[in-house]
């Protein structure tokens, strides 16, 4: 495998299943914690793996609003499943993280100790193009501003990303309508496209970084033949045409900004349980809260950061009570932030079209359906929002 034109230059090659196993083995041998899709508890779950045998060969998923089922696949594909209940934020931006601890000595002396960043070097295997975009969005939110979330930054900097292009979108997927797609050209170290046809079960592999090329150079791969390249292009193009859902093609930021007083919020609030599942499974939702915990002596305190949800009443708590007490206002906050004010705050949408919020909503609320309804209401009313402004002023 020394046919590289220049060290580190992007390469395209073909791996078979043994080659994929060698890829996992090489990452493990490199001292990395390899995280990939596995089957557990009736779902495709992201978990540490030490061998490619743990990948969900032969498993697919059946998705609908409020519905997730595993299904067997005849073709034995490893990556023919769309987004599961987790995303990579579970590892890069974990649910709980200790920030620092403090001790109070008998004489009242206090010592604060910052928690050193976790010494972990991840390799993520099977990152979907939608999730690659989600990682890029969290990068901007957590490390792109004036202050950096250093824990996230450290984990992210050390992470090796093996993307896998999407060949089996679910009925809840709508990445294409969010400006993404089942294929990807950047943001990864290696990108795989799974191809299964008469010529066998194999993976077209492209490197997207020097580290990716260096690893690829170690693997037992064959030259990228024209048939495999063509087959890979075809399965990804077919996936783009097979999106189960679509977001309405409108300026979503503007629609959200103009819909703050829409009647549709009452409609969705009548169904929404404000459980926060959508925020937990969303690969870009980043909100956290902090907790200070003390031990029984009362002299050792720890500051923990944990995921929080804008659906929680306490989220907006001020001394007088919560700012957003109604379910209507909390669903509105989530949706208008995700699709609207995210642009103001972080220069992009907060939605990548992965469909997780639709699948894992216990009552099957569908973000694309809600936006379609908001658009229909806006079209009907025109710009009738101005009148309410003055009425609100009198309160």
Q: How far is the CB of 117 from another protein (least distance, A)?
A: 5
69 vs 148, beta carbon nearer another protein: 148
Q: By the criterion CB under 8 A, which residues form the site for another protein?
A: 99-100, 102, 104, 107-117, 141-142, 145-151, 154, 260-261, 286-292, 294, 298, 301, 303, 305, 308, 310, 315-319, 323-326, 328-329, 333, 336-337, 340-341, 344-345, 389, 392-393, 395
Radius of gyration of the chain (CA): 23
What is the spatial distance between Cα 162 and Cα 206, in angstroms, rounded to a whole number?
10
What is the spatial distance between Cα 219 and Cα 211, in angstroms, rounded to a whole number?
13
Please say whether the beta carbons of 245 and 171 come within 8 A: yes
Please say whether the beta carbons of 147 and 60 come within 8 A: no
Q: How far is the CB of 357 from another protein (least distance, A)?
A: 16
Q: How far is the CB of 187 from another protein (least distance, A)?
A: 21
110 vs 363, beta carbon nearer another protein: 110
144 vs 362, beta carbon nearer another protein: 144
57 vs 304, beta carbon nearer another protein: 304
210 vs 291, beta carbon nearer another protein: 291
50 vs 100, beta carbon nearer another protein: 100
Q: Around Cβ 387, how many Cβ atoms within 10 Å?
A: 10
Q: How far is the CB of 188 from another protein (least distance, A)?
A: 25
Q: How far is the CB of 308 from another protein (least distance, A)?
A: 7
Q: How far is the CB of 121 from another protein (least distance, A)?
A: 15
Residue 202's closest CA among 391, 19, 386? 19
**Cα→Cα distances 313→15, 162, 280, 305, 322, Å:** 50, 38, 16, 18, 6
Looking at the DSSP assignment, which residues form a beta bridge with residue 292?
A: 303
5 vs 321, beta carbon nearer another protein: 321
What is the spatial distance between Cα 49 and Cα 36, in angstroms, rounded to a whole number?
6
Q: How far is the CB of 271 from another protein (least distance, A)?
A: 18
What burial class does residue 394 get, using C-beta atoms within 10 Å of its C-beta: 0-12 exposed, 13-18 middle, 19+ buried? exposed
Residues contacting residue 100 through CB under 8 Å, at least 6 positions apart: 112, 113, 114, 115, 302, 303
């Amino acid at each position: 495998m020394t046919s590289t034109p220049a060290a580190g230059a992007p390469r395209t090659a073909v791996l078979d299943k043994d080659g994929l196993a060698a890829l996992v083995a090489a990452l493990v041998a490199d001292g990395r914690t390899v995280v990939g899709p596995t089957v557990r508890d009736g779902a495709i779950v992201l978990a540490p793996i030490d061998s490619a045998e743990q990948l969900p060969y032969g498993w697919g998923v059946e998705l609908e609003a409020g519905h997730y089922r595993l299904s067997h696949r005849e073709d034995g594909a490893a990556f023919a499943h769309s987004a599961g209940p987790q995303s990579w934020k579970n590892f890069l931006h974990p649910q709980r993280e200790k920030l620092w601890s403090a001790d109070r000595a008998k004489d009242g002396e206090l010592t604060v100790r910052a928690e050193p960043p976790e010494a972990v070097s991840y390799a993520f295997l099977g990152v979907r193009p939608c999730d690659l975009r989600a990682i890029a969005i969290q990068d901007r939110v957590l490390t792109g501003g004036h202050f950096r979330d250093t824990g996230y930054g450290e984990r992210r900097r050390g992470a090796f990303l093996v993307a896998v292009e999407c060949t089996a979108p679910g009925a809840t997927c709508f990445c294409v309508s969010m400006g993404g797609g089942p294929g990807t050209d950047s943001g990864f170290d290696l990108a795989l496209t799974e191809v299964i046809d008469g010529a066998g079960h194999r993976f077209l592999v492209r490197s997207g970084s020097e580290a990716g090329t260096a690893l690829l150079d170690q693997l037992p791969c064959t030259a990228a033949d024209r048939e495999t390249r063509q087959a890979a292009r075809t399965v990804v193009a077919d996936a783009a045409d097979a999106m189960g859902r679509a977001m309405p093609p409108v300026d979503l930021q503007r629609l959200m900004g103009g819909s703050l007083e829409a009647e549709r919020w009452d409609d969705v609030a009548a169904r929404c349980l404000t459980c926060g599942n959508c925020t937990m499974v969303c690969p870009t939702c980043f909100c956290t809260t902090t907790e200070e915990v003390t031990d029984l002596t009362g002299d050792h305190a720890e500051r923990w950061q944990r995921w929080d949800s804008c659906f929680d009443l306490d989220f907006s708590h001020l001394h007088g009570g919560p700012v957003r007490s109604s379910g209507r206002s909390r669903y509105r906050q989530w949706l208008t932030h995700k699709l609207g004010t995210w642009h103001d705050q972080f220069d992009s949408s907060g939605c990548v079209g992965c469909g997780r919020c639709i699948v894992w909503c216990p009552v099957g609320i569908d973000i694309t359906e809600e936006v379609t309804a908001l658009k229909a209401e806006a079209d009907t009313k025109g710009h009738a929002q101005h009148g309410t402004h003055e009425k609100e002023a009198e309160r």
